[in-house]
Amino acid sequence: MPTVTMIGGGQLARMTHQAAIALGQRLRVLAERPDDPAAQVSPDTVLGSHTDLTALRKAAVGSHVLTFDHEHVPTEHLEALIAEGVNVQPPPTALIYAQDKLAMRRRLAEFGEPIPAFTEVESVADAVRFGDEHGWPVVIKAVRGGYDGRGVWMADTAAEVEPVVKDQLAHGVSLLAEQKVRLRRELSAMVARSPFGQAAVWPVVETVQRDGQCAVVIAPAPDLSQELATRAESLALRLAAELGVTGVMAVELFETDDGELLINELAMRPHNSGHWGMDGAVTGQFEQHLRAVLDYPLGDTSPLAPVTVMANILGAPVAPDMSMDERLHHLFARMPEARVHLYGKGERPHRKIGHINVLGDDVAQVREKAERAAHWMSHAVWTDGWDPHGEH
Ligand SMILES: Nc1ncnc2c1ncn2[C@@H]1O[C@H](COP(=O)(O)OP(=O)(O)O)[C@@H](O)[C@H]1O
Ligand SMILES: [Mg+2]
C-alpha cells in the first residue's frame, strides 16, 4: 500500500492521517516540531522546514506522492523535486495560484472568470488611485502568506490606506488592492480532481467568518438557488481543470448583494470549509484528497443529512480553568450527537484548536447546537445558561 508524504504537520495533515489509516496507507509528514498536530500521531515524521530542499527531499524519498497541508512550499523546490522523479500533487504550475493572490487574479482575469476589480500596489499612490477610481472602501491584501484574515486590511479612506501600505511595503510585503465587495454572504465550492482528470464536487456551502476567520460552515448553503449552486459547482470544476489542479481545492466565493458570484481565493489542499464532510458526507475531503493525489477513482460526495453544520473551536481570549478533557466530558454528557474533532493544539486566543459537526434537518436548530457546543469547548460556558454542575 502507498506511502503519501504531506508537507506540513498541522491539523489538516493530522486529519489526512486519520483517513490514510482507514485506507491502509501510510502518511509521512514533514513537520516543523515534534508536537505539531500531525507529528503527534504519525510514526513516520520527518522534522524540518518546508523551505529546506534537503528536508523536502528526505520526506519525499520512497513515497508514492508528495502533497500539502499548506501552500507555502517554494515552487522552485518543487520543480527540483519533480526533476528528481518525485510525484508532486498538485503540481507547482497549479499551486502557484493558491500561493500568490496576484498571479491568481491575473490568471483568472485572463480566463474571464468573475473576480473583484484589483490592482498591484507598489506605492501608497497606487492604492489611493485605485480607491479613487473604483470607490472606497478598498481591501489591501498581502500577495502571499496570509491566512485567517492575517494579511487582509480594510481601508475606508486614503488616510487609512497610507499607514498600512507604507508599513507593509517597508517590511517587504508585496500587496494588492481590490474592491470591497458588498456581500450577501460567503460560499465555498469544494472540488477534487485526479491526475487522470476525474473530478467531483461537494454541495456548495456557506461559510461564516468572524474577524476574517472562518467560524461556521453550513452544508449545503441554505436557500441557495439551484441556478447559483450549479454555477458555483461548474465554476469549481472548470477552474480545477483549467489550472491543472489535483487533490482537493476549495474555491472561496462571495455572493454579492445583487446575486452574483465572485471568486475570492483558492486553496489547493483540504480546507476548513470541507470539515463538515468528515461526518456529513459519504466521502470527506481528507479521504478524497488521498484518493485524488493517488489517482484512485473518487468517492461519492453526497451529504448524509439535510443539514450539517461545522463550528470551529477557537482558543478563548483567556483559556478556561476547566481542562479540555473535562469540557469534553460535559459536552458528551449533554450532547451525545455532537461529532468532536480536536487537533492536539495548545489554547491560544483565536487559534483553531478543533471543530464540531452536527447533522440534522433544521438549519437554525443544527447551527445553534453546533455553535453552542463549540463555544462550550472554547470557553467552558454554555451560551444558554446551562450550569454543568447545577441540578437538572
Ligand atoms: N474584496 C473583499 N470584499 C469584502 N470582504 C473581503 C474581501 N476580501 C476579503 N474579505 C473578507 O476577508 C476574509 C479573508 O480574506 P481572504 O482573502 O480570504 O484572506 P485569507 O487568506 O486570510 O483567508 C474573507 O473571507 C472576507 O470575509
Ligand atoms: Mg480566505
The whole-number pLDDT of residue 148 equals 81
Q: Are 212 and 231 in contact (CB under 8 A)?
A: no
3-state helix, strand, coil in the chain (%, to 5): 35, 25, 40
Neighbours of 74 (CB within 10 A): 15
Cis geometry, peptide bond prior to residue 163 (ω within 30 degrees of 0) = no
Q: CA nearest 88: which of 100, 78, 98, 99?
A: 78
Which three cell numbers, joined as nine digits, stand for 132? 479613487
- List ligand 1's pocket residues with C-beta within 6 A: 116, 139, 141, 146-149, 151-152, 178-181, 183, 186, 209, 212, 252, 264-265
Q: Which amino acid is at 169?
A: L
Rounded to an integer, what distance in angstroms lies between the CA atom of residue 387 and that of residue 56?
50
Q: Are strands 3-7 and 26-31 parallel, antiparallel or unpaired?
A: parallel
According to the annotation, is 272 in a ligand binding site?
A: no
Query: What is the percentage of the chain residues whose pLDDT exceeds 90?
Result: 96
Question: Whose C-alpha lies nearest to ligand 1, atom 7?
Answer: 180
Q: Which residues contact 314 (CB under 8 A, 6 or more apart)?
A: 213, 215, 350, 351, 352, 353, 374, 378
Q: Are 204 and 221 in contact (CB under 8 A)?
A: yes
The 10s digit of each residue's pLDDT in 200-219 is 999 999 999 998 899 999 99
Residue 354 C-alpha to ligand 1 middle, in angstroms? 22
Q: Are 23 and 46 in contact (CB under 8 A)?
A: no
> What pTM, to 2 d.p., does this model score?
0.96
The whole-number pLDDT of residue 390 equals 81
Q: Are 87 and 295 in contact (CB under 8 A)?
A: no
pLDDT at 391 over 70: no
- Across the range 64-88, mean pLDDT stands at 98
The 10s digit of each residue's pLDDT in 137-169 is 999 999 998 888 889 999 999 999 999 999 999
The whole-number pLDDT of residue 392 equals 61
Residue 158 C-alpha to ligand 1 middle, in angstroms? 20
Residue 257 C-alpha to ligand 2 middle, in angstroms? 19
Q: Which amino acid is at 134?
A: H
The 10s digit of each residue's pLDDT in 335-376 is 999 999 999 999 999 999 999 999 999 999 999 999 999 999
Q: CA nearest 80: which of 88, 70, 69?
A: 88
